[in-house]
Chains A and B, each alone.
Chain A
Amino acid sequence: MLQLRKRPTPLGWSAPLVFVTAVVLSLAVSALLLRLQGQPAWEGLAVFFQSGFGSTWALEDTLNKAVPLFLCSLGVAVAFKLQIWNIGAEGQFALGAVGATWAALYFSFLPWFFLLPLMLLSATIAGGIWGLIPALLKLYMRANEIITTLMLNYIGILILEFLVYGSWKDRASFGFPMTPVFESGAVIARIGRTNLHYGLLLCLAIGLAMALVLAYTRFGYELKASGENPRAGRYAHIPYKKLVILVLVISGALAGWAGFVETSATLNRLQPSVMAGYGYTAIVVAWLARLNPLGIALFSFLLAGMLVGVEGMQLELQIPAAFGKIMEGLILLTVLSGQFFRNYRFARR
C-alpha cells in the first residue's frame, strides 16, 4: 500500500525532472488528442517542433512572438508578486495598441525619433489607465480584481473594434476593419537584414531594468515582503495601497507596450487580428517562470515557439489554431500537479 509522506525539505535538484515529466505528459495527451481526431500524431508533433524551432526563419518568428509575450508576462508577474491577480493583460494590450495608433495616425508628420517615443508614451498611458481602473476599484470599492480586469478585457477589445470599424477605418480598405498603413516613421524598424525588430531590444532593456529593480530596490523588497505575507507587510508599514496602484499601472503599461510593438512592428496598422491572445498566454508564462524575469524570458521564448509551431500545424495539417490553447491548458495543469511532488512523496507503508 502506498502512502503519502511530506518531504522534510522540498525537492531540490530533481525539480526540473518533475517539470520535464509534466511537460512530456502534456505533449503526450496533446498527441493522443490529435490521434483521436484522426490526425497523424507523430507527424503532427514533428511539424510542431520543426515549424516552431527548426529553422532560422522559425526562430526569428518565434523570437518576434516572444516579444509581446515577454512584455505582457513581465507586467503580469509584477502584479502576481503582490498576489494581485491581474488577468487583464489582454485588455491592457488592446488599449496600448489603441494609444499607439492614436499617436501614429494624428502625428504621422513627425520623424520617427519623435513619433516612436510618442507612440510608446501614449501606449504607456492608455495601458496604464487600464491597469489603474481595477486598482482603484479594488482599493476603494473592494472589487475583486480578477473579475474587474477580466471584464475590462472584453471592454478594451470592443473599444479597439469600435475604432477600427468606425472613425479610424481606412477608406481604401474595401470595408475591412483596419486603419490605414502607418507612415514609415511610426514603424519599428527591423534589425539589420534579419526579420527581427528593435522591439527585442526594448524587451532586453526593460527586462534587465525590472530584474535589477526587483532585486535591489526598496520597491522590489516591499513587493516581496507584502506579497508573501500581507499582514507582516502592514506591520512593517509598507504602503500597501500605493503598491497595488503602482503594480497594476506598471502591469498595464507593459502590456500596453506589447500592444504598441505588435501594431507598429508586426502589422504596421491597427486591425482586430492584433488581439492574438498574448495577454492570456502571458499568465501561463508568468506562472511557469515562477515570476522570475529570466525565467519569463525563457518561457516567453518556449511558448512563442509553441504558438508558431501550432501555426505550422495549422498550415500543413489543417489543425485548428485552438490546439495551442489546449496545449497551454494541459501544460499548466500538469506542471501545477507536478509541483505536489516537490513537497510530497509516495512511500511504502
Chain B
Amino acid sequence: MSSTIIIPLLAATVQSGTPVLYATLGEIFTEKSGVLNLGVEGIMIVGALSGFWVSQASGNPWLGFLAGGGCASLFSLLHAAVCLVFQGHQVVSGLALTILGTGLASFLGTPLIGQKAPGFSRIFIPLLQDIPLLGPILFRQDPLVYISYILPIAIWLFLYYTRWGLALRASGENPRAVDVAGISVQFYRALGIMIGGFLVGLGGSYLSLAYTHIWTNGITAGRGWIAVALVIFAFWKPGRAVLGAYLFGGVMAFQLRLQAMGTTIPSSLLLMLPYLLTIIVIALASKRSRGGEAPAWLGVNVEPEE
C-alpha cells in the first residue's frame, strides 16, 4: 500500500511544490530588502513563457531555464523603476506588474498554445536513490528539484552570513541606518527586486519546462499569489518556505491524483483545495506571529535625497 500510493504521492508533492518554492524564496529575498512585490504572479508567468520560448528556439532546456530567470528579472526591474526611482506605491505597482505580465504572456503565448519545448526529465542520483522511503521521494526527480534543495540554504547563508546580505536585510529593517553608514538603500533594494525576480522566473520556467513540457494559457494558475501568501506563512525564513511549498505541493498532488483516479467529486471542488488551504494556512500563521517577523520597513518607500 505505502509503496504504491504514498511514495508516488510524496514524490509528486515535491515536484508540485518546487515551482512555488522557487517563487516563495524569490519573494522572501525581495521582501527582506524592504520591497513588497505583488507582481509575483506576473513575473512568474513571464519567466515561464520566456523559458519555454528560449528552450524551444535553442533546443537547450538549461538555456531556457536561465533565460526564464533572466527575463523575469528584467521584467521585475519595472517594479524597481516605479518604486525606487519614481516613488510609486508598491502595492499598486505590484498589481500593475501582475496585470501586465499575465497580459503579455497571454498575448505573446497565444501562438504557442499546445506546442512542446525540450524540457527536463528525471535523473536518478546513484546511491541516494536507494535510501528506503527518502530515495524514491527525494532523489528520483529532475535536476531543477535538486537545485531547489540547495537554494534555501544558499539564500540563508547569503542573507545572514555575508556583508551583502546584512546590507540587504538592513535596507528592509532600518534604511535610515544604512543611509547613515554611507550605503545605498536603493541599490540593495534594486538587488533584492532583481535577484528575487530571477528566482521567481526560475519557478515559472520550472512550470513550462519540467512540470509540463507544453505551453498552456494561464500556466501559473495563481501559484505566484500562493507564493506571496507562503512568505507570510514562512515568517520570511527560507527554511520554513520549504515546509510551506511542500504543504501546498501535497494538496496539489493529492487533488490531481484523485482526479486521475476518476473520483466522482467534481473537479471544480477539488481545484478549490489549494486556495482554501492557503487561506487557512495564512490565517493560522498570522494569528500565531505577532507581526514582528516582517521587515520593519516592508512596503515603505525611502525618499530620494535632495
List chain A positions with a Cβ less than 8 A from chain B.
4-6, 33, 37, 85, 87, 137, 141-144, 146-148, 150-152, 154-155, 158-159, 161-162, 165-166, 280, 283-284, 287, 320, 322-330, 332-333, 336-340, 343-344
Contact = CB atoms under 8 A, between A and B. Distances in A.
Contact of B286 (A143, A146, A287, A332): A143
Contacts of B306: 4-6
Contacts of A154: 222, 272, 275
Contacts of A143: 279, 282-283, 286-287
Contact of B92 (A5, A328, A336): A336
B276 to A, nearest CB: 7
A4 B84 CA distance: 14
Contacts of B284: 141
B217 to A, nearest CB: 9
Interface in B257-306: 266, 268-269, 271-272, 275-276, 278-279, 282-284, 286-287, 291, 304, 306
B78 interface: yes
A332 B95 contact: yes
B99 A85 contact: no
A320 B113 CA distance: 13
Interface residues of B, number: 51
B278 A162 contact: no
Contacts of B103: 322-329
A339 B83 CA distance: 11
B96 interface: yes
Interface-central residue, B98, B222, B279, by most chain A CB under 10 Å? B279
B107 interface: yes
Contacts of B287: 141-143
Contacts of B88: 333, 336-337, 339-340
A283 B266 CA distance: 32
A162 B267 CA distance: 8
Nearest to B225: A150
A5 to B, nearest CB: 7
B100 A329 contact: yes
A330 B100 CA distance: 7
B282 A144 contact: yes
A257 B284 CA distance: 32
A330 B241 CA distance: 32
Contacts of A85: 91
A155 B275 contact: yes
B126 to A, nearest CB: 41
B158 interface: no
A325 B107 CA distance: 9
B286 A336 contact: no
B92 A322 contact: no
B96 A329 contact: yes
Contact of B95 (A6, A87, A148, A152): A87
Contact of A329 (B101, B222, B232, B275): B101
Contact of A333 (B100, B275, B276): B100
A166 B225 CA distance: 28
Contacts of B228: 146-147
A326 B100 contact: yes
29 contacts: A4-B304, A4-B306, A143-B282, A143-B283, A143-B286, A146-B228, A147-B229, A147-B232, A147-B282, A148-B279, A151-B225, A151-B279, A320-B107, A322-B105, A322-B106, A322-B107, A325-B99, A325-B107, A329-B42, A329-B97, A329-B100, A332-B95, A332-B99, A333-B78, A333-B93, A336-B82, A336-B92, A337-B82, A340-B87
Contacts of A141: 283-284, 286-287
Contacts, number: 149
Given A146-B91, A166-B266, A330-B100, A322 B82 contact: no
Interface in B199-244: 222, 225-226, 228-229, 232
B57 interface: no
Given A143-B279, A150-B225, A333 B291 contact: no
A141 B226 CA distance: 18
Contacts of B291: 142
Contacts of A144: 229, 232, 282, 286
A309 B119 CA distance: 38
B279 A161 contact: no
B110 interface: yes
B286 A142 contact: yes
A223 B87 CA distance: 25
B252 interface: no
A339 B98 CA distance: 20
Nearest to A277: B99
Contacts of A338: 86
B10 interface: no
B38 interface: yes
A137 B283 contact: yes
A65 to B, nearest CB: 17
Contact of B86 (A87, A147, A148, A337): A337
A162 B269 contact: yes
| Chain A to chain B: the 4 pairs with minimum beta-carbon distance, closest first | A329-B100, A325-B103, A322-B106, A332-B96
A209 to B, nearest CB: 27
Contact of B268 (A150, A165, A328, A330): A165
Nearest to A321: B106
Given A283-B95, A339-B86, 15 more contacts: A4-B306, A5-B306, A150-B222, A158-B271, A165-B266, A284-B96, A320-B107, A322-B110, A325-B99, A329-B96, A329-B101, A332-B100, A333-B100, A340-B85, A344-B304
A92 B39 CA distance: 22
A338 B86 CA distance: 8
